[in-house]
Structure 1
Amino acid sequence: MKAIAQDRYGSPDVLEFGEVDKPAVGDHEVLVRVRAAAVNARDWHLMRGDPYVARLVLGLRRPKERIRGTDFAGRVEAVGEKVTRLRPGDEVFGEADGAFAEYVCAPEGAVAAKPANLTFEQAAAVPLAGNTALMGLRDLGRVRPGQQVLINGASGGVGTFAVQIAKALGAEVTGVCSTRNADLVRSLGADRIVDYTREDFTRGGRRYDLVFDLVGNRSLTDIRSALTPAGTVVLSGGGVSEGGSVFGPMGLLLKGQALSRFAGGHRLLVLTATPNRENLDELRRLAEAGKVSPVIDRTYPLSEAPEAIRYLEVEHARAKVVVTV
């Protein structure tokens, strides 16, 4: 089968489009004929082996998993002997390593029925980003109707889902983004926009019940100054500026864990999102109810997946970038 593989860490130039062996389905897995796959920041972190400390798990000299990509949507080709929920021909979406390929094997528990009202391209954009937003807001943030929620990084892959999910949970939402993305974030339901090129949300005087930080470009002291007395900060990733290439976005997350015991009345929480079928089912319900709609910036054919990752890494893509197979 055709796939995007890599045998060393580096820039998108290390990614190669070519033939690899078709995966064999395990007892608890499904084999999916991929129709579309989404690009995530995770892909270029894995591509570069950045942060370096992650190579202890990913592979010291080269990635253990050769094929890039995580989010996918497609049709079930075959199922393992112990799979009970899915059958060949089912349209599905989910998460698994190796999604930039014609076929991907995924655990049954990381796959769910595709939202009926979404295309394969739209459905592929949902799993990782949508799950991150759902877990950060509903599970860690415990968002309730009427609360004031700020999304820092509202125009990104996770941010565009977070704005919509926060609204679906009944919150009043403030989205932090650049001038060029203000209309997009407003169209997703944000009640208020903070243009970070003109305004600092930590110095505006407004207080929030929850700050969902998807960027990692502000100190925790600054973020806490924007909270209500019993407010919550949920940290999810961010850039490499906080920890450098050694620790990368984990720098801010580690700091959040260390400082959480000194937070007073504030809750400082670190989000680690994991694939979850029940959450995929909830995201499907939200999509089919019209409460969540994926936003796609650009699409690329599978052979140009390296360029798709380069675009996400360099050009600060809005929302999601999708690869079609």
Structure 2
Amino acid sequence: MKAIAYQKFGNTDVLQTVEEPKPVIRAHEVLIKVKAVSINPMDWKIRKGEMKLMSGSTFPRHTGVDFAGVIEDAGPSVTNFKKGDEVFGVVKNNMKDGALAEYVAVPATHVWKKPAALTFAQAASVPIVGAAAVTALEKMGNINTNSQILVNGASGGFGMFLLQLLKQKGASVTAVASPAAVNFAKKWGADAVIDYTKENVLAQQKTYDIVIDLSGRMGYANAKQIMKPKSLFLNPTPQPIEIPTSLFKNLFTGKKHTVILSQPTSKNMVLLLNAISNGLQIEVNKVFPFAQSVEAYRYAESGGIIGKVVVEIN
């Protein structure tokens, strides 16, 4: 089978199309003919060696974490899936494994039935950013119509899910986005949208109960300027040192710094599937064929993408 792999850390030019044996499944696994793989920032952070403490440094390595496809075979211990089922899911180890290949073998607990209303490209876009959005929502605690929430960098896949989940909760949401993304942020549920090319959100007088920085550019130190005395800063892109230091610093301030670490689970997939059945929309920005996988990553890594970028495999 064809797969995308790389032999060293680096930019997109290290990605190669290689021939590999079709995976052999174990008793508890399913073999999936991959139809679509979505691209996440995690992919290139791992590829560039920014997460080698967690991912390791062995090669060759593969890329792509979440996917959608059709069950080709199921191990004897698998009872909830059969050949021909359309599913979406994640690889077993998102730091070491990769889904960008013609076939992938994963535990049956890592896949879910694809809703008929979703395309393969849309379904592949759900697990990683969807799980992150659900985790962020859980970290926010009890939010309601009085909750004032700022979502900075709201137009990517994470923001797309989070804005719509917050809308379903009834929270009052201000989104910070690029000019091209303003209308999308409004469509996804933001009550107000700040175009960052025209207005500096840190210079306004309004303060918030919750600030979540999806761009990774604001940072907790800046966010404190627009946070209420008792408030929460959510950080989904922490530096390794921020994980322990935030816990210590939170003992001495009402402006809490909380790190988001998420993983797709059956619990958060059920919540997401319910949200999708209630109208949550999935915007696929651009679809690339497998032969243009390198171009797909270059495009995704250029930044400012609205929604998700997906590679399709015929």
Q: When the two structures are superposed, what TM-score results if normalisation uses the length of structure 1?
A: 0.88
Q: CA-to-partner distance for each residue in 1:247-295, whole Å, 9 max, x for gaps? A: xx44555653453333x223321111112122112211211221x1111
Q: Is 1:93 aligned to residue 93 of structure 2?
A: no
Say whether the 8 Å CA contact 1:111–1:280 is kept in structure 2.
Answer: no
| Gap change, CA 1:135 and 1:202, over 3 Å in 2 | same
3-state SS of the aligned residue for 2:200? coil
Partner letter of residue 120 of structure 1? F
Q: CA-to-partner distance for each residue in 1:178-227, whole Å, 9 max, x for gaps? A: 12211121121211001122222233121222112112212313212322
Which residue of structure 1 lines up, in the alignment, with residue 302 of structure 2? Answer: 314
Structure-2 separation of matches of 1:257 and 1:214: 20
Which residue of structure 2 lines up, in the alignment, with residue 109 of structure 1? Answer: 109
Which residue of structure 2 lines up, in the alignment, with residue 35 of structure 1? Answer: 35
Which residue of structure 1 lines up, in the alignment, with residue 254 of structure 2? Answer: 265
Structure-2 separation of matches of 1:95 and 1:143: 29
Partner letter of residue 221 of structure 1? A
Structure-2 separation of matches of 1:110 and 1:73: 11
Q: Is 1:59 aligned to residue 56 of structure 2?
A: yes
Q: Is 1:218 aligned to residue 218 of structure 2?
A: yes
Q: Is 1:134 aligned to residue 131 of structure 2?
A: no
Say whether the 8 Å CA contact 1:143–1:171 is kept in structure 2.
Answer: no
Q: CA-to-partner distance for each residue in 1:147-188, whole Å, 9 max, x for gaps? A: 222111101121111111111122111111112211121121
Q: CA-to-partner distance for each residue in 1:35-60, whole Å, 9 max, x for gaps? A: 111001111112211x2xx3233233
Structure-1 separation of matches of 2:89 and 2:65: 8
Partner letter of residue 265 of structure 1? G
Q: 2:65 aligns with which of 70, 78, 84?
A: 70
Moved more, 196-205 or 14-23: 196-205
Which residue of structure 1 lines up, in the alignment, with residue 44 of structure 2? Answer: 44
Per-residue deviation at 1:63?
Answer: 4.0
Q: 1:81 aligns with which of 76, 79, 88?
A: 76
Structure-2 separation of matches of 1:63 and 1:151: 37
Partner letter of residue 144 of structure 2? P
Structure-1 separation of matches of 2:266 and 2:248: 31
Per-residue deviation at 1:315?
Answer: 4.1
Say whether the 8 Å CA contact 2:213–2:219 is kept in structure 1.
Answer: no
3-state SS of the aligned residue for 1:174? strand
| RMSD of aligned residue pairs (Cα, Å) | 1.9
3-state SS of the aligned residue for 1:281? helix
Q: Is 1:298 aligned to residue 297 of structure 2?
A: no
| Number of equivalences | 307
3-state SS of the aligned residue for 2:18? strand
Structure-2 separation of matches of 1:41 and 1:162: 17
Say whether the 8 Å CA contact 1:9–1:63 is kept in structure 2.
Answer: no
Structure-1 separation of matches of 2:173 and 2:189: 8
Structure-2 separation of matches of 1:10 and 1:301: 22
Q: Which has the higher contact order (CA 8 A, sep 6+)?
A: 1
Structure-2 separation of matches of 1:253 and 1:215: 18
Structure-2 separation of matches of 1:135 and 1:308: 27
Structure-2 separation of matches of 1:157 and 1:170: 20
Structure-1 separation of matches of 2:38 and 2:142: 27
Partner letter of residue 311 of structure 1? Y
Q: CA-to-partner distance for each residue in 1:50-104, whole Å, 9 max, x for gaps? A: x2xx3233233x446x221111011111222322322222211111132111111
Per-residue deviation at 1:296?
Answer: 1.2
Which residue of structure 2 lines up, in the alignment, with residue 181 of structure 1? Answer: 181
3-state SS of the aligned residue for 2:62? coil
* Overall identity of the aligned pairs, in %: 36
Which residue of structure 2 lines up, in the alignment, with residue 8 of structure 1? Answer: 8
Which residue of structure 2 lines up, in the alignment, with residue 144 of structure 1? Answer: 143
Structure-2 separation of matches of 1:223 and 1:194: 15
**Which ranges of structure 1 fall in alignment gaps of 5 or more residues?**
239-248
Q: When the two structures are superposed, what TM-score results if normalisation uses the length of structure 2?
A: 0.91
